[in-house]
Structure 1
Amino acid sequence: MPHADPAATSLVTDLRALERELWCQEYLMKISEFDGATVAPEKGAAARGEALGYLAAKNHALLTSDASRAITRAVLDAMAAGDITDDQVAAEARVLERDQREAAAIPEEEAVAFTKLVVEADAVWHRAKLANDWASFEPYVDRLVDMLKRRATYLDPARDPYDVLLDQYERGLTAAQFDAFCETVRDTVVPLVAEIGKRPRPAAAFLTAHVPEEVQRAMSFDLMRLVGLDMPAATLAFTEHPFSEGFATGDARVATHIYEDNLMSNVYSVIHEAGHAIYEQNVDPAYAYTRLEGGTSLGIHESQSRLFENTIGRSRAFMGPLLKILRQHVPEVYGSVSEDELYRAVNIAEPSLIRTEADELTYPLHIMIRYEIERELFAGAATARDVPALWAERTKHYLGLDIPDHARGALQDTHWSGGSFGYFPTYALGSAYDAQFLPAMERDGVAVDEAAAAGDLAPIRSWLRERIWRWGRSKDAPELIRDACGGPLDARLYAAYLERKFSDLYGL
């Protein structure tokens, strides 16, 4: 046995008990957060914030207590001495020790205050977006930036605060690395967008056909099944900003937003969020209730959602299975639409205002807008009062568009209200990881187009389960990508994928 020694066995038992208790607290916090974003009443925000603050304090205290850290230290010492040789236990202890070290750096009162501020800011953001009222949300941006700067200093006073935040979402990522990534992608995307703008837009009146909410709800479940979600382990809710959350391998939540005159918004939101959820469902069950359960990084998570949404979901091969569902639910609109017409329609590339509605080609430009504004906020070159003007300036520069209102500008995303600064770059990285999965799958004998055309994504899911999903948090993103794809992230592969696909679509 890897840890048959009674003392070593006792240490592992203590480790697992600690991990389970932490997991239970975090599960309850996720339930409350999901409820707040979907079905909770507006006036419940203060009470929810109080409860979440209490749970955050308990979780922080347990994670960072001397007794908890002593358990982790004892396991690591036993591993170093050769008394524990189980690879999974080693990974659990390594990840837990990092979580403890980083949490311990944040004073408990600071952790509680941040949780309460985020709950309050999120409630204000929801109202502000509906009212097109940046001024009411503006103070929260400054407060969150100030608090996050302090948190970053606690974590690593020697580093740029923004680099510290980037590392929290994608281990090892720095602003300098992402700047280089953006340069490579920008050099390909900007000229492509300009050339495509000279070409006629494909006719696609069916994209704006009125489809009632109840029809779209029913279709959403068929789309989740098409992706391959384990439906008894998933649920669908409705919210202002689509998202998903993995609570456990048997509990993944998808939340979407329905527009009756934009069916494809819901179609691809559901496919996108189902990609997140299926990742959570397929982490190795042996990791349940441990620090290894769940996705390893937001970039890897985004690679799964965008693979299903774009690489598979907008591929020419996938149009047959997708059209079958569309015709089943909306025959009066899609009965006469061909696969080729649908393929060109769902891949129309043109600048737009809303990130979540952006096409695959212009999407990284939306990320650059947000990234550059965040950099200025954290460098002290701007405050929240400057954000709407910066947003308008960057949108004009990258997309050639004017911002008509705050709801379609600086208030459109929920991330800042959740304190998630440094998060946006992972969206672009996810697409880039995704571009490396495709050739890696093909090298491993997966017939991607054949599976997509058949509407049977099992071969693709099998590859992802073995190379990505099952590892949970046991591998950080750089190691996971090297093992799965045979090399590190390479932005040139992403740029080449975009150039190849859209040059072919538009005959460039």
Structure 2
Amino acid sequence: MKPTDAVRDFTRLQRDLWCREYLTSILDFDGETVAPENGAAARAEAMGVLSEEHHRLLTSQSAQDLVAELTKQQEAGALDDTTAAELRVFARDQREALAIPTDEVAAWSRLTSEANAVWHKAKLANDWASFEPYVDRIVETLKRHASYLDANRDPYDVWLDQYERGMDAASYDAFFNQVRSTVVPLVHEIGAIPTKRPAFLDACVPEAAQMGIARDLLALEGLDPAGCALACVEHPFSDGFAPGDVRVTTHIYEQDVLSNVFTILHEGGHASYEQNVDSAYDYTCLAHGTSMGIHESQSRFFENYVGRSRAFMEPLLSILCAHAPEAYEGVDAGTLYRAANIAAPGLIRMDADELTYPLHIMLRYDIERMLFSSEATARDIPGLWAKLSRDYLGLEVPDDARGCLQDTHWSGGSFGYFPSYALGSAYGAQFLAAMRGDGVDFEGACAAGDLAPIAAWLRDKIWRWGRGKDAQELIAGACGAPFDATYYCTYLDTKFRELYGL
């Protein structure tokens, strides 16, 4: 086969696969936002059919033959860099897909779609018992699939590696131990200092005003409203559907506007990453973020390093005053900075401050490890959650809705995902140091409410590469050195000691 013919067929195959992924994303978004409750079963069936089609296309003999042909051409030096990168990632995706039977892929899609619908109702009703059987079924399925992918590895290690290549439980244990040694003493020191919660944090800001705040923040992050849809959901998320089409969601609490502020900055970071992948990768296997650790580094960079910085308080205050003047016109930037950075253990991960946030991740990580080692089953989770909340956060859990039902991830089968949130937070500290080292005036950009210089650095070093580079290659290229959690620990220690005068 001529190189041009093989590349043409490869391009067409990737576009066909992308179309199935696009349709699945639409169904998923619809289910989370506007679809009626009674449509869940039909949606699960449609998503199962699409996932089966996708799997058959990816693993077909003709697709395998095409990869083999392109591999020969690459060895002969006949492929350009972009096609070679596509081939590397596509071949890995294909190898992993071949390990799992097509009928199990379709069954998995139906299971997680059904589980997600049950989770939504269970959370609202504080009904762990209705969701419990799905957790057991999902974990058992993931164990079996892990054995297909690599029978010689611990099943939880297999899934940790899927979300962040090269990571396993031993790597995360070392990372969490380092972070814990910084965070726990600080939390204890700060806990001994009386902290008064400013009244404006609990001021009622109606949904319409909060949606205006959300739109202004997304625009400030550089997202074009013509290419970015905004919706309200039970558990916020974002998704990059296609070129010129990202979806961002939030959850409005009228008595907690800052929850919406930091949710939007977080989800906008995800959306910015997806919308700034090199257009040469459109409709290919490279057209998304490379890993969940890198993705969460971008979301949490905008949420925390930008959004909770002292320099950003004036632009943020300006937006708040424009939409909620009765609550924020008498607030100064210094007061807002201290309020936005109150460090105190809370029950809800998504609303946690920067300092206590990794403790929420360690709690979930510990439970996931016990589930995958068969030390626990879903029935044990509420009790484990209560115990670990006392151990890590010093808090009693009043109900499962504010405990083990608060996150949607397990309903979608995303075991092994949670640790990437903490890892991504740590990546961000190293990116910030590298950005400053490259001459970016980070504080100046934040203070001006003009994040273009920050976005330009991230676009060049991270976003444009899509899946073309794995996480550790991206970090080394952006920072000139491998990942080092010391940057994160130093950042947290310096920031919170200064804030609390320690």
Task: Return the TM-score normalized by structure 2.
Answer: 0.99
Q: How does 1:97-176 map to 2 (within 5 A)?
A: 97-176=91-170
1:6-30 deviation line (CA, Å, top 9, x unaligned) = 8111111011000000001110001
Q: Is 1:56 the equivalent of 2:56?
A: no
Matched, 1:262 2:294: no
**Aligned partner (choices 5, 18, 21) of residue 16 of structure 2:** 21
2:312 partner SS: helix
The reply on whether 1:489 has 2:459 as its aligned counterpart is no
Q: Does 1:504 align with 2:501?
A: no
Q: 1:439-468 deviations in whole A, cap 9, x for unaligned?
A: 100110000000000000110000000000
AA aligned opposite 1:306: R
- Structure 1 distance, partners of 2:21, 2:68, is 22
Task: Give CA-to-partner distance per residue, 1:315-339, whole Å, 9 cap, x none.
Answer: 0000010000011111111101000
1:245 and 1:271 map into 2 onto residues whose CA distance is: 14
**For residue 211 of structure 1, what is the aligned residue in structure 2?**
205
Q: Secondary structure at the match of 1:473?
A: coil
The one-character-per-residue Cα deviations of 1:122-181 (angstroms, maximum 9, x if unpaired) are 011000000000011000100000000000000011111001001111111110000000
- State the Cα distance separating 1:360 from its structure 2 match: 0.5
1:419 aligns with 2:413: yes
Matches within 5 A, 1:308-319: 308-319=302-313
8 Å CA contact 1:369–1:391 kept in 2: the answer is: yes
| Distance of 2:78 and 2:366 partners within structure 1 | 49
Task: Report the secondary structure of 1:478's partner residue.
Answer: helix
In the TM superposition, 1:209-358 aligns within 5 A as 209-358=203-352
Give the alignment partner of residue 36 of structure 1, picking from 31, 54, 61: 31
Q: CA deviation at 1:39?
A: 0.9
Asked if 2 retains the 8 angstrom alpha-carbon contact of 1:216 and 1:263, the reply is yes
2:440 is the alignment partner of 1:446: yes
Q: Where does structure 2 lack aligned partners over 5 or more consecutive residues? A: none
Structure 1 counterpart SS, 2:429: helix
Matched, 1:389 2:383: yes
The reply to whether residue 475 of structure 1 matches residue 482 of structure 2 is: no
After superposition, the C-alpha distances for 1:13-70 in whole angstroms (9 at most, x for unaligned) are 0110000000011100011001111111111110000000000110000000010111
How far does the alpha carbon of each residue in 1:401-442 deviate from its partner, in whole angstroms, 9 at most, with x for none?
000000000000000000000000000011000010111001
| Secondary structure of the corresponding residue to residue 474 of structure 1 | coil
In the alignment, structure 1 residue 181 sits paired with structure 2 residue 204:
no
The aligned counterpart of 1:80 is 75
User: Partner amino acid for 2:451?
Assistant: L
Q: Distance in 2 between matches of 1:204 and 1:88?
A: 53
Residue of structure 2 in register with 1:3 after alignment = none
Counterpart for residue 47 of structure 1: 42
Once residues 326 and 284 of structure 1 are traced to their aligned partners in structure 2, the CA distance between those partners, rounded to angstroms, is 34
In 2, Cα distance between the equivalents of 1:200 and 1:487? 40
Give, in angstroms, the shift of residue 230 of structure 1.
Answer: 2.1
**Counterpart-to-counterpart distance in 2, 1:459 and 1:283:** 17
Question: Aligned AA for 1:47?
Answer: A
State how far apart, in whole Å, the 2-side matches of 1:423 and 1:483 are. 24
Q: Supply the distance in 1 between the matched residues of 2:245 and 2:158 (Cα, whole angstroms).
A: 31
Q: Deviations over 1:367-400 (max 9, x none)?
A: 0000000000000000000000000010100000
Amino acid corresponding to residue 70 of structure 2 in structure 1: V
TM-aligned CA deviation for residue 232 of structure 1: 1.3
How many percent of aligned residue pairs carry the same amino acid? Answer: 63
The reply on whether 1:365 has 2:359 as its aligned counterpart is yes
Number of residue-to-residue matches in the alignment: 502
Is 2:452 the partner of 1:458?
Answer: yes
Deviation at 1:218, TM superposition (A): 1.5
Give, in whole Å, the separation in 1 of the partners of 2:68 and 2:196.
61
Counterpart in the other structure of 2:6:
11
Provide the rounded CA distance (Å) in 2 between the counterparts of 1:74 and 1:45: 42
TM-score by length of 1: 0.98
CA deviation string 1:211-231 (max 9, x = no partner): 111111122101111111122
Q: Distance in 1 between matches of 2:241 and 2:196?
A: 41
1:318/1:453 contact within 8 Å kept? yes
Quick one: distance in 2 between partners of 1:403 and 1:77? Answer: 58
Is contact 1:351-1:401 (8 Å) kept? yes
CA distance in 2, matches of 1:230, 1:103: 35
- Once residues 320 and 409 of structure 1 are traced to their aligned partners in structure 2, the CA distance between those partners, rounded to angstroms, is 35
Residue 106 of structure 1 aligns to a residue whose secondary structure is coil
Q: Structure 1 residue 202: deviation in Å?
A: 4.1
In structure 2, the partner of 1:407 is: 401
Superposition deviation, residue 486 in structure 1: 1.1
- State how far apart, in whole Å, the 2-side matches of 1:140 and 1:434 are: 34
CA–CA distance in 2 between the matches of 1:390 and 1:404?
A: 14
AA paired with 2:317?
L
Structure 1: 5+ residue stretches without partners: 1-5
Question: 2: distance between equivalents of 1:163 and 1:177?
Answer: 10
Tell me which moved more, 482-491 or 91-100. 482-491
Contact kept? 1:230, 1:281, Cα under 8 Å: no
Aligned to 1:379: 373
1:245 CA displacement: 0.5
Structure 2 residue identity aligned to 1:31 = I
Letter of the 1:239 counterpart: V
Cα distance in 1 for partners of 2:311, 2:379 equals 47
- The one-letter code sitting in structure 2 at the alignment partner of 1:279 is Y
* Alpha-carbon shift at residue 82 of structure 1 (Å): 2.0
Q: CA deviation at 1:203?
A: 4.0
SS in 1 for 2:411: helix
Q: Match of 1:92, as an amino acid?
A: E
Amino acid in the other structure paired with 1:14: D
